[in-house]
Amino acid sequence: MGQEIGRAAFDADDVAEFERRVDAETALCSRWWRDGRFAGDDYVVGHELEGWLIDHNCYPWPGNQEFLKAAGSSMIVPELSRFNFELNATPQALRDGAFTRFEEEMRTIWRDCVEIAHEQQGSPILIGILPTIRQEDLCLANISPSNRYRALNDRVLSLRGGRPIHVRIDGRETLELTHEDVMLEAATTSFQVHLQPPRDEFVRHFNAALVLSAPLVALAANSPLLFGRQLWEETRVPLFEQAVPISDVAPPERNRVTFGSGYLEGDPIACFRENSRRFDMLLPMLQDDPPESLSHLRLQNGTIWRWNRPLVGFDAQQRPVLRIEQRVMPAGPSLIDMVANAAFFAGAAHALARRGVPMERWLPFEAARDNFYHAAREGLPALLHWRGERTTAQALILRELLPLAHEGLAERGIGQAERDRYLDVIAVRVQSGRTGAAWQRGHLQRHGGDTLKLVADYLERQRSGMPVHEWDY
């Protein structure tokens, strides 16, 4: 959800001035890109991981303020609700040992989180949508005490004319409801992988990330339940897209949570210009920073949640950098599962981006977008468009994308042992069909739909450190 802001209320003058500054900073950013000012001589990978806090009865525990205070770490920060938090990792150069270091750091931070939460009579858990979350839990009494979150809620409702938010999800079952605030968004936690390719390769890598969104969401699916209903394999997708709507009638590409409107063609800053043109200024907080900080552009971009979005920032030498945030993967089921997902994405994206014929020539954007929603809904059995034919996500991953991921990681110098450790996890999970979503559905079937037992057993197996394909019921 990004940085804190100084206040929670704005007027028309704030909005107009904020928009002017966003446009000026976007123009500056575009000039820097044309002039070669952006850093871009190495590959860097990073991530953000969102987690839940639960009590001993396996219900959400709104204790993140006490938890964060006890943690006292800049790597552990608040999220929208009082029962969520976010973990950050040290970015790694994409070379041999990168994913091993990721896993080691994640395990260290996670052990600290477990110890801190236990001292406060709670537990952290990594799962896309918590099966025991209830609609009444998602209320403003459980919003984190932050100007940013209050302003987000107030601005969305104001731009909607005060109308409640309507959600309808048709999957294995159907769920339809109305909600009075934006707190439904807090039910969706994700594992966001950041990839910073060299400047001259950014556009190809970004388009590869779009193409890979469907197989990624299929193999990582871990959110089949919401409010007792079995819906999509990755129900985060339709829920998040409907949780913060400004309009009930806008086309999908004008939704603030969207797959986007097309591939990048040559100028990645065009995405920021489109953000200014298409979307209201949701948090128009005026900053005292100089235009060169791009603070208004970055704040505006942080309120548009494309499933793949370019992010602009600065490196240690204060050079501007552009990175890709891949947002389609949920949190969980285990740490090694998530590191394996990141390795698969980084390797396959690198290999696809380096292919002689750009994938945009043989997979239209509309097909890539359709693939994504089919895969989020149906998981590994989903039929996807690929090279002029239809194939299941499962077959595509095993036949073509896993070899590509090995190829891409090898080209970046990732050794055989490290590649095998993580990509073998993907291979066995996909071959067996045992994703986190499949495990949850199987557990419900075996135990009569008991979501309390589901969460308890899930947490026990997550703590074992085993990948999900090795979990029993």
Distance CA 151, CA 93 (A): 36
The answer to whether 414 and 96 are in contact (CB under 8 A) is yes
User: What amino acid is encoded at 52 in this protein?
Assistant: W
How confident is the model at residue 255, as a pLDDT? 86
Burial class (CB within 10 angstroms; exposed 0-12, middle 13-18, buried 19+) of 266:
exposed
**Helical H segments across 400-450, by residue range:** 402-411, 416-432, 436-446
Of residues 94, 348, 398, 364, the one with CA closest to residue 208: 348
How confident is the model at residue 76, as a pLDDT? 95
Taking the alpha carbons at both ends of the chain, their separation in whole angstroms is 35
The single residue listed with the structure tokens 């052990």 is 111
Residue 133: phi and psi, rounded to 5, are -65, 140
Residue 167: phi and psi, rounded to 5, are -125, 135
Q: What is the mean pLDDT of the chain?
A: 95
Domain boundary assignment for the chain: 12-467
How confident is the model at residue 5, as a pLDDT? 58
The answer to whether 423 and 344 are in contact (CB under 8 A) is yes
Both tokens of 315, joined, read 């490196």
**pTM (two decimals):** 0.96
Of residues 205, 209, 238, 206, the one with CA closest to residue 221: 238
How confident is the model at residue 247, as a pLDDT? 81
Residue 231: phi and psi, rounded to 5, are -120, -110
Both tokens of 384, joined, read 């996807």
Burial class (CB within 10 angstroms; exposed 0-12, middle 13-18, buried 19+) of 9:
exposed
Looking at the domain covering 12-467, what would its CATH class be? Answer: alpha beta
Please give the full DSSP string across 30-70, using - where no structure is assigned. HHHHHTT-S--SS-EEEEEEEEEEE-TTSSB---HHHHHHH
- 37's CB contacts (< 8 A; 6+ apart) are 319, 320
Q: pLDDT below 70 — which residues of the chain?
A: 1-8, 252-253
The answer to whether 128 and 188 are in contact (CB under 8 A) is yes
The single residue listed with the structure tokens 């104001």 is 158
The answer to whether 429 and 341 are in contact (CB under 8 A) is no
Distance CA 206, CA 325 (A): 9
The single residue listed with the structure tokens 């468009």 is 385
Q: Is 415 helix (H, G, I), strand (E, B) or coil?
A: coil
CA-based diameter of the chain, in Å?
62
Distance CA 355, CA 344 (A): 17
Distance CA 126, CA 351 (A): 30
Of residues 139, 132, 85, the one with CA closest to residue 109: 85
How confident is the model at residue 1, as a pLDDT? 42
